[in-house]
């Protein structure tokens, strides 16, 4: 199993060659995936060379005879055939690439790499404004959050291809940063132009490679990555399809860092302040737990399933007013907020979530209730994570160029100290500026990924 004490870098290369081994070694990869060959290439200690083969017993056995350390296979449609392969070859099958509809399959001890996601970075729009009036960010944080929420007992891993004509070399850095943030992995493939540029000694490709190595080295030094979500917002999802994927995608794009929780398995968790349940009829057990959550002081935000009214499952909660298409009910110490219309426009719904969460603060105005606020950093997405009790980790990922100018950042809570780590600079303490129930700090640039660890004040 590829769950190591350090961050696991998996590099896939389209040729079984010394060049592939060289690049994997330079990157500090633990695993190199290459096409099957009559003989596995020699590799230094610490680098496992894995053959990409068909999901066929003979192909797997041939790779073993050729001296490969394991294989990566695509899951066959027949789940029984997959189980038979895993039973016969055991841990020699290192990685199983799964279609989205196969994501539920148990492929242990192999890594389950789900074929979803996109090459991350900023979308080039030829100078035109995006529909959201913000930089168009291609990101995979919501995919990792989905895997984490639906399959919490396994390492979340993605398997996607870069566009064949992509010149966005920085996407490789972002791909690793996203995976580390969730304690996960990605099967990293470079765009063809990137690989060809490296082979030719192209200056731009070489510069991008050096930065990628800096990011990879930093992530490897930083361990597995914080494994627990710490956002105060969760979105309940009945199944992973285009509708709910885009709702979550736009919520992440609004810098909300929401947890994803399977609707059938919802239970109140530490740190949650608000739970959104858009466009769905909730199971009875989930309704009961949401009533408990609201009664204890939480906020529940509900939208109707398209074409159907919302079932009033909130029991004896008292009406407390209606404003802007949202009716509020008092339920114990918390509230249930019911929107008149379904969340048909994910961008508008994300703005609604941002406003409702932001207004949950002692003053009842502004956006001081948000978990994280960033100023002058619209191409940066935050994630709130927790590695151990008493500490909060804010991870900032830049989807554009490395940033050298300072920008203001803040998070909700009371903290006594903080430290900052990021590539290409020494770790340093952070001067916190208390602002009531939150703190702010000057973020000294962003070298692709920054990890701010905050020590919580003892109450």
The CATH number covering residue 168 comes to 3.20.20
Sign of CA dihedral 364, 367, 249, 31: negative
Residues of the chain above pLDDT 70, percent: 97
User: Cβ(412)–Cβ(271) under 8 Å?
Assistant: no
Q: Is residue 49 located within the same domain as residue 145?
A: yes
298, part of any domain: yes
Mean pLDDT of the residues in the chain = 93
242, part of any domain: yes
Q: What is the Cβ-side half-sphere exposure of residue 153, based on CA atoms within 13 angstroms? A: 6
CATH code, domain with 282: 3.40.50.880
CA distances from residue 372 to 84, 105, 392, 410 in whole angstroms, order as listed: 47, 35, 12, 6
pLDDT digits (tens, 9 = 90+) for 214-250: 999 999 999 887 889 999 999 999 999 999 999 999 9
367, part of any domain: no
Q: Is residue 209 located within the same domain as residue 82?
A: yes
CA atoms of 325 and 334, how far apart (whole Å): 19
Q: Is residue 217 located within the same domain as residue 236?
A: no
Beta partners for 443?
A: 407
pLDDT at 152 over 60: yes
Q: Which domain holds residue 326?
A: 232-358
Q: How confident is the model at residue 135 (pLDDT cuts 50, 70, 90)?
A: confident
pLDDT at 37 over 70: yes
Q: Is residue 133 located within the same domain as residue 165?
A: yes
Q: Smallest Cα–Cα separation from 182: which of 37, 402, 387? A: 387
What's the rounded mean pLDDT across residues 95-120?
Answer: 97
CATH code, domain with 410: 2.60.40.1180
366, part of any domain: no
340, part of any domain: yes
Q: How many domains does the chain have?
A: 3
Q: Is residue 181 located within the same domain as residue 259?
A: no
Helix (H) / strand (E) element for 11: namely strand 10-12
Answer with the one of 358, 386, 413 that is the final residue of a domain.
Answer: 358
Strands 433-434 and 259-262, sheet pairing: unpaired
Q: Is residue 193 located within the same domain as residue 65?
A: yes
Q: How confident is the model at residue 125 (pLDDT cuts 50, 70, 90)?
A: low
pLDDT digits (tens, 9 = 90+) for 343-364: 999 999 999 999 999 998 887 7
Strand ranges inside 177-333, DSSP E: 185-189, 228-229, 233-237, 259-262, 274-277, 299-302, 318-323, 326-331
CB neighbours of 315 closer than 8 A, spacing ≥ 6? Answer: 291, 331
Q: Is residue 379 located within the same domain as residue 352?
A: no
Q: How confident is the model at residue 127 (pLDDT cuts 50, 70, 90)?
A: very low
Q: Is residue 51 located within the same domain as residue 73?
A: yes
Q: Is residue 132 located within the same domain as residue 39?
A: yes
Answer with the one of 163, 190, 221 that is the final residue of a domain.
Answer: 221
363, part of any domain: no
- 420-432 as b/e: b if 16+ CB within 10 A: bbbbeeeeeebeb
Answer with the one of 221, 250, 277 that is the final residue of a domain.
Answer: 221
- List, edge to edge, every strand of the sheet that includes 334-339: 259-262, 233-237, 274-277, 299-302, 334-339, 326-331, 318-323
226, part of any domain: no
Q: Is residue 241 located within the same domain as residue 184?
A: no
Q: What is the DSSP string of 373-432?
A: EESS-TTEEEEEEESSTTEEEEEEEESSS-B-S-EEEEEES-EEEEEEE-TTS--EE---
| Residue 344, pLDDT score | 94
Q: Is residue 207 located within the same domain as residue 288?
A: no
Extract the tokens encoding 355: 């406003």
pLDDT digits (tens, 9 = 90+) for 329-345: 999 999 999 999 999 99
pLDDT digits (tens, 9 = 90+) for 358-390: 998 887 777 889 999 999 999 999 999 998 889
Taking the chain, what is the end-to-end CA distance rounded to the nearest angstrom? Answer: 41
Give the pTM.
0.95
| Residue 334, pLDDT score | 95
103, part of any domain: yes
Q: Is residue 176 located within the same domain as residue 242?
A: no
């Amino acid at each position: 199993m590829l769950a190591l004490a350090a961050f696991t870098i998996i590099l896939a290369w389209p040729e079984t060659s010394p060049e592939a081994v060289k690049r994997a070694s330079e990157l500090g990869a633990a695993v190199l995936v290459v096409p099957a060959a009559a003989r596995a290439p020699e590799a230094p200690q610490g680098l496992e060379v894995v053959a990409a083969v068909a999901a066929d017993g003979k192909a797997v056995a041939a790779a073993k005879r050729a001296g490969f350390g394991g294989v990566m296979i695509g899951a066959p449609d027949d789940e029984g055939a997959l189980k038979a392969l895993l039973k016969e070859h055991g841990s020699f099958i290192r990685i199983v690439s799964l279609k989205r509809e196969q994501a539920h399959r148990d492929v242990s001890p192999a890594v389950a790499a789900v074929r979803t996601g996109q090459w991350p970075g900023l979308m080039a729009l030829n100078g035109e404004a995006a529909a959201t009036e913000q930089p168009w960010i291609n990101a995979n944080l919501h995919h990792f959050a989905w895997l984490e929420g639906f399959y919490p007992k396994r390492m979340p891993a993605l398997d996607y291809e870069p566009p064949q004509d992509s010149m966005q070399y920085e996407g490789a850095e972002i791909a690793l940063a996203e995976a580390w943030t969730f304690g996960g992995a990605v099967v990293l493939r470079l765009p063809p132009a990137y690989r060809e540029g490296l082979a030719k000694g192209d200056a731009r490709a070489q510069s991008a490679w050096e930065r990628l190595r800096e990011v990879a080295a930093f992530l490897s030094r930083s361990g597995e990555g914080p494994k627990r979500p710490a956002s105060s917002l969760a979105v309940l999802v009945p199944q992973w399809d285009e509708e709910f994927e885009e709702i979550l995608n736009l919520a992440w794009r609004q810098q909300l860092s929401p947890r994803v929780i399977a609707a059938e398995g919802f239970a109140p968790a530490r740190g949650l302040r608000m739970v959104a349940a858009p466009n769905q009829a909730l199971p009875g057990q989930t309704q009961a737990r949401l009533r408990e959550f609201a009664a204890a002081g939480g906020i529940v935000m509900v939208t109707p399933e398209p074409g159907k009214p919302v079932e009033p499952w909130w029991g004896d909660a008292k009406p407390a007013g209606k404003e802007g298409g949202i009716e509020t009910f008092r339920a114990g110490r918390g509230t249930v907020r019911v929107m008149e219309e379904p969340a048909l426009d994910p961008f508008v719904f994300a703005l609604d979530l941002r406003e409702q969460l932001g207004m949950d603060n002692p003053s009842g105005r502004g956006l001081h209730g948000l978990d994280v606020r960033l100023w002058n950093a619209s191409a940066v997405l935050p994630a709130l994570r927790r590695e151990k009790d008493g500490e909060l980790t804010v991870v900032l990922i830049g989807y554009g160029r490395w940033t050298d100018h300072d920008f203001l950042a803040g998070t909700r809570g009371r903290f006594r100290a903080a430290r900052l780590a990021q590539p290409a600079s020494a770790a340093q303490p952070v001067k916190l500026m208390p602002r009531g129930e939150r703190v702010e700090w000057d973020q000294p640039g962003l070298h692709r990924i920054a990890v701010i660890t905050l020590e919580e004040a003892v109450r």
